[in-house]
Amino acid sequence: MTEILLEDMQQALEEMGKKAVSASRVLASMKTQDKRDLLNAMADAILEDTEKIKTANAIDLENGRKNGLSSAMLDRLALDDKRIRGMADGLRTVAAEDDPVGKILSTTERPNGLKIEKISVPVGVIGIIYESRPNVTADAGGICLMAGNTVILRGGSEAFNSNQAIATAMNRAGVACGLPDGAVQLLPWTDRRAVTLLVTLDKYVDLIIPRGGEGLIRAVTRDATIPVIKHYKGVCHTFVDKNADFNKALKIVENAKCQRPGVCNALECLVVHREIADDFLKKLYELIGDKVKMHGDAEVRKILPAIEAGEPDYNTEFLDYAMNIKIVADIDEAIAHINTFSSKHSESIITECEENAAKFFAAIDSSCVYHNASTRFTDGGEFGMGAEIGISTDKLHARGPMGAKELTIYKYIIHGEGQIR
Amino acid sequence: MTEILLEDMQQALEEMGKKAVSASRVLASMKTQDKRDLLNAMADAILEDTEKIKTANAIDLENGRKNGLSSAMLDRLALDDKRIRGMADGLRTVAAEDDPVGKILSTTERPNGLKIEKISVPVGVIGIIYESRPNVTADAGGICLMAGNTVILRGGSEAFNSNQAIATAMNRAGVACGLPDGAVQLLPWTDRRAVTLLVTLDKYVDLIIPRGGEGLIRAVTRDATIPVIKHYKGVCHTFVDKNADFNKALKIVENAKCQRPGVCNALECLVVHREIADDFLKKLYELIGDKVKMHGDAEVRKILPAIEAGEPDYNTEFLDYAMNIKIVADIDEAIAHINTFSSKHSESIITECEENAAKFFAAIDSSCVYHNASTRFTDGGEFGMGAEIGISTDKLHARGPMGAKELTIYKYIIHGEGQIR
C-alpha cells in the first residue's frame, strides 16, 4: 500500500464527514416503514453481492495466512454463504424492531402557555471502530441506521476487503432507497493515523463506539474529542451469601462461569460468605473443579486446590475456564470488594434473604445487578431489546446492553403564540 | 505560591478521588429528606461562615486589583452579604426540588420469569471546571449533590480563596450530616496542570462539566479521558418566514436580541424570507436599529445600513447588541443555513404556516426548536426544571437545559429465582 499524506487523509475524511451528515439529515426524518424497507434492501444487496463479498474475503484470508494469523483468527474472519445469509437475516431482524425515533418522551405546558415537547431523535453520525469479524459491519451498521444514524466504520485491517464489499453493498442500497451517498461509509485506509483523525472529526461525528480489546478502547478514549461510549472488559462477580440456596447457587455459578467463558458477562470472581465458604466451595469444586482453574488466597487454598492470587489479581478478566475466589466476612465486605474490583458490568447476589438482596441492589455500582440469576443474561436479546451494539460499562448516556433506542437522544420542540421574556 | 511537583499533585488528586467515591457511595443511597436536610445544612453553613467567606473574598479582590482585573471582572468576583445569602437561598431552592434518584424508569418481565427494573441512579463523582463567579461553587455543587453526586471543583484562580471558603463550609455540613469527608472538594492548586490531571482521573471521576469560554471547553475536551458534557457557545437563529405575523416577529426578534444580549440563548443571526425581507427588515430597523449593530451581505445592505458580513462570519456569537442577517429564498434554504452555522443550541421559526413550523421542528438539529416564541426561553427555570447546571450543546446523554435529573443515569436490577442460560 502506498503511503498516504496525513493532510490528504484529513481532507478525504472531511468529505466523508460532510456526506455522512447530509445522509443523516435525510435519514433522520425517514418514516419507520421507509427505514424498514431500507434495512431490508440492504439485506437484499448483501445477498446479491454474495460472490463479490466472498471474493473480497478470499483476499483477506490469503493475506491473513501470509501474515501468520492463527486458525482461530482466520475462522473469525472467514465468510461463507451461511455467514453472509446471517448478516442479511440480522438486518431483517433489526428492520422488524420498534422504531426508537420520534417518540414523545414528555410534554409540559408552562404557565405562559408555551408547550414543550421532548422528542426522541437520532444522535446523528456514529463512528464505529472495531476489530476482526466482518459481520460487525452489517450488524452495527444496521442498528445505527434503524435509530436514524449514519455510520463511518473503521474495521480491522485483516478484514479490510471484506468490510469494504459489505459496506459498498449497504451504501448502494441506501442510495437506491433515496438516501444521499454516505449512509454507510468505511474508512478506505488501514493506516492507524486514520483512527486518530476519525475520533477528532467532531465537526461531523457525534459519537464514537469502539469495539475491541482494552488497548483499542483506551487509545480511542485518550485521543477522542468526540463523546465515546466504552465497552470495557467484564469483570463480573457473583456473591454467594450465607443464606444462599446451595442448589441455585451451584447451578448459577456453574452457568455464569462455564456456559460460555469467553464473553464479557461470564463470571470472573466468586465472592463467598465465610460462614458457608468451606461447605459451598467443596461442593463447587466437586461440580466444576475438573474444568475450571481456581485462583485464591491462603484461606481459599485451605479449602480447595487453587493458584495463589492476591489483591492485584482481583481485576483479572480470564475469559476462560478460570476464576478468582474471595472469602468475605459479610455482605458489606462483599459489596466493598465488588465495587473496588468490578468493571461495573454485571454482578449477582445469591441469597434467600430479601433484605440482603435489596442492600446489594442499592449499593452495587454496576450496570446490571442480579438476585438469584446468572450474569450471563446481560445481553440485548435476553433483555428483550432486540439486537445490541454492545454493553456499555460507562455511566453516561447509556449503561448495560445498548440497542437502537440507546443510539437516540432527544430535542425539545416548543410551541408558542408570540411569547417573549 | 511554591512550585508543586506533578507527582505530588497526582498523588493528592488520587486521594481526593478516593474520598469523593467513598462519599458518593453513601450519598447515593441517602433518602430524599436526608438530601434535603443536607443541602439546607450546607446553606446554613455558608451563612454561618459569612465573615470567613467575605475575608477570603477580600483577599481575592485585593489580588485581582493588583493583577489588573477589569472592574466588570471584579464585580463578578465580589461577594457581599446579599450574594452570600443568594447562594444559601439557591441551595434551599434546589433542596425543595424533586429527587431524580430512585425512579423506576421501566420494568420488563421476560418469558423466563426474570423481572428487569431500570432505575435512576446518580452518575457518581462529577468534576466541574469553571471560571470567575464564586457562587458557581454553591450553585453547581448543590445541583450535583441533590442528584446524589459528589463533586470535585476547580474554580478560576482569581476566586481561589472565596471558592475554598465556600467549599469548606459545604463539606463541613456534609460531614455533620453523616457523609464521609469529600462530598464537596475544591482542587487546592491554581496550577493549570491540575486541570489536565483532573480530567484524566477516570478511575474515580465519572463526568466532567466545564463551564466557561470556548478555549477552556476545547482544552478540556481535548485532554479528557472522562466523558465531558459541553456547553459551547450559543449561535441562536430566528427565521422569519414569509407567512410570519409581523407583530409577533418584531416583538420576538427584539426580545431574543435585546432583552439580555450577553447570554447564550440570545439571537445572533436573523434569517429572513426574501419575499418579506425588504418590508420586515425596514420595520425591524425602525424598532431596534438605533441600538443593535446589523451585519449582512450586499442584499441586506441594500435594505438597511449594515456592516459587511459573509460566510465565515455567520458563526459569530456577538453576545452584544449586534446581529447577523441572512436573506433566504425559502424555508429549505433557511434550514440548511441554520443547520450549517448554528451551535445546536436554540432556533426559532416565526410563521403562521403550521406545515412550515412542522418542517422546521423536524429538520433543525438543535437542542431546542421554537415556533413563534423567543429563544430566550431556553433555560432550566423557564422549562420548569428548577435550577440548571448549564445548557448542553452536546448530543449525548443530555441536550438543552440540564437540571438535577440530567445528572443521573440508570442501572438495571434483575430479580431471579435461579435462572441460568
| pTM of the predicted model as reported, rounded to 2 decimal places | 0.95
Same domain for A186 and A245, yes or no, is no
- Is A396 within the bounds of a domain? no
CB contact residues (below 8 A), chain A span 260-289, against chain B: none
pLDDT in tens, A218-276: 999 999 999 999 988 999 999 999 999 999 999 999 999 999 999 999 999 999 999 99
Residue B64 C-alpha, separation from nearest chain A C-alpha, in angstroms:
33
Instruction: Report the CATH number that the domain containing residue A247 is assigned in CATH.
Output: 3.40.309.10
- Is B421 within the bounds of a domain? no
Burial class (CB in 10 A: 0-12, 13-18, 19+), A47: middle
Task: Write a three-state SS string for B247-267.
Answer: HHHHHHHHHHHHCCCCCCCCE
**Across the interface, which of B116, B207, B225 has its CB nearest the CB of A221?**
B225
User: Quick check: helix, strand or coil at residue B187?
Assistant: coil
- Is A386 within the bounds of a domain? no
- Is A420 within the bounds of a domain? no
Chain A contacts of B347, Cβ < 8 Å?
A: none
Q: Which of B381, B92, B361, B397 is nearest to B263 (CA)?
A: B381
What are the cell numbers at B369?
Answer: 426548536
Same domain for B240 and B195, yes or no, is no
Chain B contacts of A417, Cβ < 8 Å?
A: 248, 372-373
Same domain for A201 and A330, yes or no, is no
Please indicate if any CB of chain B lies within 8 Å of the CB of A225. yes
Residue matched to cell numbers 439580555: B260
CB atoms within 10 A of CB B334: 27
- Is A50 within the bounds of a domain? yes
Same domain for A169 and A315, yes or no, is no
Contact criterion met (CB < 8 Å) for A369 and B225: no
Chain B contacts of A123, Cβ < 8 Å?
A: 395-396
Whether B139 contacts B387, CB under 8 Å? yes
Same domain for A218 and A241, yes or no, is no
Chain B contacts of A361, Cβ < 8 Å?
A: 413
Angle subtended by helix axes A32-48 and A81-95, to nearest 10: 170
Tell me what pLDDT residue A253 has. 98
Same domain for A364 and A308, yes or no, is yes
Distance CA B30, CA B355 (A): 49
Residue B67 C-alpha, separation from nearest chain A C-alpha, in angstroms:
33
Tell me what pLDDT residue B22 has. 96
Same domain for A244 and A99, yes or no, is no
Same domain for B193 and B325, yes or no, is no
Contact criterion met (CB < 8 Å) for A421 and B377: yes
Same domain for B213 and B291, yes or no, is no
pLDDT in tens, A153-169: 999 999 999 999 999 99
Distance CA B102, CA B383 (A): 22
Same domain for B145 and B253, yes or no, is no
Domain housing A49: 6-230+402-414
Which mean pLDDT values do the consecutive 10-residue runs of chain A (421 residues) have? 81 97 95 97 98 98 96 93 96 96 97 98 97 90 97 95 97 96 95 94 96 91 95 94 98 98 96 98 98 97 96 94 98 97 97 98 97 97 91 96 97 98 95
Residue of B nearest to A367 (CA): B411
Chain A contacts of B228, Cβ < 8 Å?
A: 227
Structural domains in chain A (count): 2
Instruction: Report the CATH number that the domain containing residue A218 is assigned in CATH.
Output: 3.40.605.10
Residues 6 or more apart whose CB falls under 8 angstroms from that of B397 comprise A227, A396, A397, A409, B227, B229, B406, B409
Same domain for A100 and A12, yes or no, is yes
Tell me what pLDDT residue B2 has. 59
Residues 6 or more apart whose CB falls under 8 angstroms from that of A12 comprise A188
Contact criterion met (CB < 8 Å) for B368 and A416: no
Please indicate if any CB of chain B lies within 8 Å of the CB of A414. yes
Please indicate if any CB of chain A lies within 8 Å of the CB of B215. no
Same domain for A300 and A216, yes or no, is no
Q: Which of B222, B21, B208, B72 is nearest to B130 (CA)?
A: B208
Residue B13 C-alpha, separation from nearest chain A C-alpha, in angstroms:
18
Please indicate if any CB of chain B lies within 8 Å of the CB of A413. yes
- Is B90 within the bounds of a domain? yes
Chain A contacts of B377, Cβ < 8 Å?
A: 114, 414, 419, 421
- Is A419 within the bounds of a domain? no
Residue B144 C-alpha, separation from nearest chain A C-alpha, in angstroms:
14
Residue B127 C-alpha, separation from nearest chain A C-alpha, in angstroms:
14
- Is B43 within the bounds of a domain? yes
> Which residues of chain B are modeled with pLDDT < 50?
none
Residues 6 or more apart whose CB falls under 8 angstroms from that of B138 comprise B42, B46, B87, B88, B90, B91, B166, B170
Opening angle at CA B246, ends B244 and B252, nearest 5? 90
